[in-house]
A and B are shown apart, each in its own frame.
Chain A
Amino acid sequence: MDITFQNIMPQPLASMQHGDESIWGNHVVLKHGHKIMLNASSGKGKSTFTSVVFGLRKDFEGKLLYDQTDTAKFTPADWTEIRKIKISVVFQDLQLFPTLTVKENLFLKNELCNVFSENELIQMLEALEIDNKWEQKCGLLSMGQQQRVAIIRALCQPFEWLILDEPFSHLDIENTRKSLKLINERCNNLNAGFVLTSLGDRHEFNYDDEIKL
């Protein structure tokens, strides 16, 4: 699924100056299966990008197209389907359930499409070195640990695009590398693409495209 930004200008960013290469106010196509880096400094609209792509905000001019379909016509049922099987997101504020354990947070997402077994989920936690947190409440984990749980939760569904909104901001280089490896493997398995927003760090990865804000 290609995602096309057709002269999109979110209201909060309308008063700002955006260059010719910016995704805002220009025609930009995110090609299916591409690994994309979205690099921008704070306040340029990285989280706004996530919200627009994911249908969380509609206060923009222009058109957002999934393949050739205008998302303005989508019903809540359409968006639910998109969020369930087409696009997955790691939110900047993670949006985990702090009173539930890591296991419950992952199960809650996984049981929607029944993608992984319990063992597979534990293996993913092992890969990111937080398998010992399986029965711990998310609210008691460090931010870095929570980020890793949120990344794994985002992988627990079929998707064509994975949107990662500053997912490694609390991770060290080693954990970032492991996380990105896990993400890349999952995307390759699904023939999916991802958009990784960052404050400038490329995380030593070869991206297909780079877009700017």
Chain B
Amino acid sequence: MLKKLLFRNQDIKQLVIAVIGSCLGITFLITSIHYLIKVNEFGEGADILGPNTLIVQKEVSNSSTLNFAKTDFSPAEIAILKKEPFILDVKPVISNNFDVSFETADPLVPRFRSDVFIQTVDPKFLDVKSNKWHWKMGDTVVPIILPRDFLVMLNTFMSASGIPQISDDLAKDIRFRFTLSNDTQKEWIDAKIIGFTNEVPSILVPESFMEFGNKKYGIAADQKITQLMISGKESEFGLVEDMVKSRHLESKNSQIVVGRLKSMVGTLIIVVLGISIIAVFVSCLVLIQYAQLLMSRNAYEVRTLLRIGYAPKQIIRTFFIYFILIFGFVSVIGLAMFLVSKYYLDKMFEEGGLYLGKDFTFYSIAALLFAYVLFGIASFFNAKKGIYKQF
């Protein structure tokens, strides 16, 4: 009876417009948050190097080949790079200064041996758990991160030897061995693969192992820093790229392309997200305004109900539940529209070569719940204000 009395004076056209606006706003909000997260996650986990990370070196020119230009980085040059606002961190990539060879040491795998180049980077650039990535004097096994190209080469060798090729996971179970040597001494240490990288061409080892090797077997006193590892800020990768060009540095192109792509798509989605937040805000305001209009149209009814003994709370609850149900409907429709757009957008991204995964992101659903709670609170206080005005 109360509902019949209070909601008969509706302007259905206005309500429908408000609901359509809210549905669109909610759809854009969930969609943009979902894809913003997906684009940021893109590429994570595929490589053991952290996201937005580059390895740079100075461009090698004719003059540097003739020793007229330096190819190593001085501490001052590193300090200047660190000061750039779009750069999070810069660390030198340290290389081996001694002879190293790498070989299989597993009875199940045919012997394969090669002289290799090993490097180490600050662990904070690596997407690897610290308990796996450590080595100290006396440890018999060194954890390593292998270039994926090396595994391809190993598999080519396996194939040629008539042995089945090995996967990433299987490779982690095979025993390998380093041989460290200089002109006077030699040592063997077992190695275990803990991850792979597409971005670094050399085998990565923990810093402590490199220090040990360089100290015990090193053949030059001063080691030159020819490569740097740089991590750039999210969505400012374009600036990192500009800096790399302007300072005549070079990097593996794929790292820059992915960074640039993520930065560009991320920026676009942030713009869409901003517009979506405004759209949701405006459509919620329209719904709230509609509620105010409804209450003012029913001012006589509300006032009379209060005079004949109805509690303000009961009338507030009636309005509150009504608008919460409307927004619930809006949320369900918005979610359904998101699912439909997701189906087509995922397809579009896939066709464009961006495999973002088909799972849902927690934060997009959380954003919907947050918007719902926020609207609920706003509706409650709006109804409370409107009803008590008539008391």
Contact = CB atoms under 8 A, between A and B. Distances in A.
Interface stretch (A13-21, A30-38, A77-85, A166-174): A77-85
Nearest to A84: B309
A36 B304 CA distance: 25
A101 to B, nearest CB: 11
B311 A108 contact: no
B309 A76 contact: no
Contact of B309 (A91, A99, A112): A112
A75 to B, nearest CB: 10
Interface residues of A, number: 24
Nearest to B308: A109
A76 B391 contact: yes
B309 A95 contact: no
B1 A104 contact: yes
B148 to A, nearest CB: 72
B306 A80 contact: yes
Nearest to B391: A76
Interface of A, helix, strand, loop or mixed by DSSP: helix
Interface in B306-362: 306-312
A56 B390 CA distance: 10
A95 B307 contact: yes
A91 B5 CA distance: 20
A153 interface: yes
Interface in B274-324: 301, 304-312
Given A76-B388, A76-B391, A97-B301, A111 B308 contact: no
A100 interface: yes
Contact of A76 (B4, B8, B312): B312
B10 to A, nearest CB: 13
Interface string A105-117: 0011101110000
Contacts of A111: 1
A134 interface: no
Contacts of B4: 100, 104
A186 B388 CA distance: 32
B377 interface: no
A99 B307 contact: no
A112 B8 CA distance: 21
A112 B305 CA distance: 11
Most buried by A among B304, B307, B309: B309
Contacts of A100: 1, 4-5
A66 B307 CA distance: 18
Interface in A62-105: 76-77, 79-80, 83-85, 89, 91, 95, 97, 99-100, 104
Contacts of B305: 108
Contact of B2 (A54, A56, A108): A108
Contacts of B308: 83, 95, 108-109, 112, 153
Nearest to A109: B308
Contacts of A79: 391
A108 B307 contact: no
Nearest to A89: B307
A179 interface: no
Interface of B: 1-2, 4-5, 8, 301, 304-312, 388, 391
13 contacts: A56-B307, A76-B312, A76-B391, A80-B311, A83-B309, A95-B304, A95-B308, A97-B5, A100-B1, A100-B5, A104-B4, A108-B2, A157-B309
Given A76-B312, A76-B391, 4 more contacts: A84-B311, A95-B308, A111-B1, A112-B310
Interface of A: 54, 56, 76-77, 79-80, 83-85, 89, 91, 95, 97, 99-100, 104, 107-109, 111-113, 153, 157
6 pairs of A and B residues whose beta carbons are closest in the complex: A84-B309, A83-B309, A80-B311, A95-B304, A112-B309, A108-B1
